């Protein structure tokens, strides 16, 4: 990742020119370290969160009875994913509290160490043949605990990176950080595709089902160890003026002093997560069940979808820096409603085939999850310094809960429309929520992280 060359010492009397988060930064070494740390942290977080969706799909029979119905199997798969998502808001509350009261760096280290250990334990799980339904029960339980630590990790690492970032670069730096989410998904898809090429996945006792799926989890644990080491040696706490006065109960302060800001972020992020779940969790299943693509073709299609999303993130981040975050989210939400939902519908009503999946998949990738481009900048700009980690983490994670039960919502369309078309309705709803969330919120791109008076409409 490139960064501007070190700036010469400023002679300006303006204090904004001599601190991170304002117009300039006096220490680009620390800026680079914080942004690289945030980028690596977000990648590792997203790598871990998407492991079950991609890696365990060809090995589901390892954790459950082969006699289960297709609907029960799909429900268990969604519970594995949902358990991680439900754990994240709890982690955001707990670790956000300590990030705002103890410090960003130390709290990040605890969170990273925690989910690294849980990911390693997941790689060692026995299967249904050995312990029966306890296997999938332990998997769901470990993923829930993992979600707590993951919720804590991005709650601390991302605000730390944004507080170090110069104001004029926040949109770009935020998008570089968040672009690692689809890149992480693509990396998992590539690893899984490679494993399926060399290891058979044909039945319970095949190599991939018995042990091949463990390899990406071991990779995730190794990435966590590397991230821990990087933060320990390279990343610094932001200056005291960036983190504000420390309060004993930042969550209580957030809820009682800034309920409107939290509610507005909740609307925006509910739409964001609903669109994400349709793209990341539902689309692979529909590609296989409705379009009848093979496991390898599904993995390749999801790889292309997420690489497309990753490429567009920096574009969206820079765009939000020029036109403003508010205008961006209003416009992007409308694009999700029209282009995102439309592309998904056209793919599912096409004649199928890998070519159609790849072609429409690019548009699905760009116009479902692009909200994340400038989201790291927007959410940290939205809250004052003394509760920034708590505000960012709770705002980002609390909205995860309702979209996590997407399978329940999709079943409400049974008898009304085909199962393969129902996700398009939820994508359109997600776009509406994103636009409304952007519309009712203020513009934040000119916020000075060290000056709470520049944050609009806090109450």
Residue 244: pLDDT band with limits 50, 70, 90: low
For residue 25, pLDDT beyond 50: no
* Range from 16-30, 154-168, 303-317 carrying the lowest mean pLDDT: 16-30
| C-alpha closest to that of 136 among 66, 64, 68, 194 | 64
Residue 16: pLDDT band with limits 50, 70, 90: very low
Task: Give the position of tokens 């018995």.
Answer: 210
For residue 27, pLDDT beyond 80: no
- If you ran DSSP here, which 8-state letter would residue 357 be given? H
Superfamily of domain 29-235+248-454: MFS general substrate transporter like domains (1.20.1250.20)
For residue 24, pLDDT beyond 70: no
- Residue 10: the pLDDT is 38
Residue 23: pLDDT band with limits 50, 70, 90: very low
For residue 425, pLDDT beyond 90: yes
Q: Is 196:296 a contact under the CB 8 Å cutoff?
A: yes
Q: Is 291:348 a contact under the CB 8 Å cutoff?
A: yes
Residue with the bigger pLDDT between 16 and 217: it is 217
- Residue 18: the pLDDT is 41
- Residue 163: the pLDDT is 87
For residue 7, pLDDT beyond 80: no
Q: What is the rounded distance in angstroms from the CA atom of residue 84 to the CA atom of residue 97?
A: 20
Q: What is the average pLDDT across 419-425? A: 93
Q: What are the structure tokens assigned to 392, written together? A: 């960012």
Mean pLDDT for all residues in the chain: 86
Residue 70: pLDDT band with limits 50, 70, 90: confident
* Range from 13-22, 90-99, 252-261, 442-451 carrying the lowest mean pLDDT: 13-22
For residue 3, pLDDT beyond 60: no
For residue 459, pLDDT beyond 90: no
For residue 429, pLDDT beyond 60: yes
Residue 242: pLDDT band with limits 50, 70, 90: low
Q: Which long-range contacts (CB under 8 A, 24 or more apart) does 416-424 make?
A: 419/286, 419/290, 420/286, 420/289, 420/290, 420/348, 421/345, 421/348, 421/349, 423/278, 423/282, 423/283, 423/286, 423/344, 424/341, 424/342, 424/344, 424/345, 424/348
- Residue 457: the pLDDT is 62
Domain ranges of the chain: 29-235+248-454
Q: What is the rounded distance in angstroms from the CA atom of residue 29 to the CA atom of residue 6?
A: 8
Q: What are the structure tokens assigned to 304, written together? A: 């292309």
- Residue 4: the pLDDT is 45
Between the alpha carbon of residue 375 and those of residues 158, 316, 325, 418, the distances in Å are 10, 10, 9, 33
For residue 299, pLDDT beyond 80: yes
């Amino acid at each position: 990742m490139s960064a501007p060359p070190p700036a010469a010492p400023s002679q300006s009397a303006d204090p904004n020119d001599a601190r991170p988060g304002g117009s300039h930064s006096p220490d680009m070494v620390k800026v680079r370290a914080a942004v690289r740390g945030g980028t690596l942290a977000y990648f590792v977080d997203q790598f871990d969160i998407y492991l079950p969706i991609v890696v365990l799909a060809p090995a589901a029979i390892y954790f459950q009875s082969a006699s289960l119905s297709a609907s029960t199997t799909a429900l268990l798969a969604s519970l594995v994913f949902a358990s991680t998502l439900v754990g994240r808001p709890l982690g955001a509350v707990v670790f956000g509290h300590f990030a705002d009261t103890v410090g960003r760096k130390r709290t990040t280290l605890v969170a990273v160490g925690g989910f690294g250990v849980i990911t390693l334990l997941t790689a060692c799980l026995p299967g249904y043949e050995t312990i029966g339904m306890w296997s999938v029960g332990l998997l769901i339980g470990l993923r829930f605990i993992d979600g707590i630590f993951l919720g804590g990790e991005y709650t601390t690492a991302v605000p730390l990176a944004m507080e170090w970032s110069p104001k004029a670069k926040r949109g770009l730096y935020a998008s570089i950080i968040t672009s690692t989410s689809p890149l992480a998904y693509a990396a998992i898809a590539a690893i899984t595709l490679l494993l399926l090429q060399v290891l058979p996945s044909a039945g319970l006792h095949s190599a991939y089902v018995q042990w091949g799926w463990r390899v990406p989890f071991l990779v995730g644990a190794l990435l966590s160890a590397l991230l821990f080491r990087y933060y320990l040696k390279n990343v610094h706490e932001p200056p005291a003026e960036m983190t504000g006065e420390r309060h004993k109960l930042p969550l209580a302060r957030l809820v009682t002093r800034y309920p409107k800001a939290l509610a507005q972020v909740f609307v925006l992020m509910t739409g964001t997560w609903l669109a994400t779940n349709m793209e990341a969790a539902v689309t692979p299943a529909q590609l296989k069940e409705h379009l009848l693509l093979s496991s390898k073709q599904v993995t390749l299609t999801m790889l292309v979808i997420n690489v497309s999303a990753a490429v567009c993130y920096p574009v969206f981040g820079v765009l939000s820096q020029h036109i403003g975050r508010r205008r961006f989210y209003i416009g992007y939400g409308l694009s999700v409603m029209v282009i995102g939902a439309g592309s998904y519908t056209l793919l599912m009503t096409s004649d199928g085939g890998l070519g159609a999946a790849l072609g429409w998949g690019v548009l699905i990738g760009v116009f479902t999850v692009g909200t994340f481009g400038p989201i790291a900048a927007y959410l940290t700009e939205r809250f004052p310094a003394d509760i920034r980690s708590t505000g960012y983490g709770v705002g980002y994670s609390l909205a995860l809960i309702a979209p996590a039960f997407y399978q329940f919502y999709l079943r409400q369309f049974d008898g009304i429309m085909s199962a393969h078309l129902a996700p398009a309705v939820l994508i359109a709803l997600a776009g509406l929520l994103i636009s409304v969330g952007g519309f009712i919120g203020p513009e934040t791109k000119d916020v000075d992280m060290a000056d709470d008076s520049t944050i609009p409409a806090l109450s």
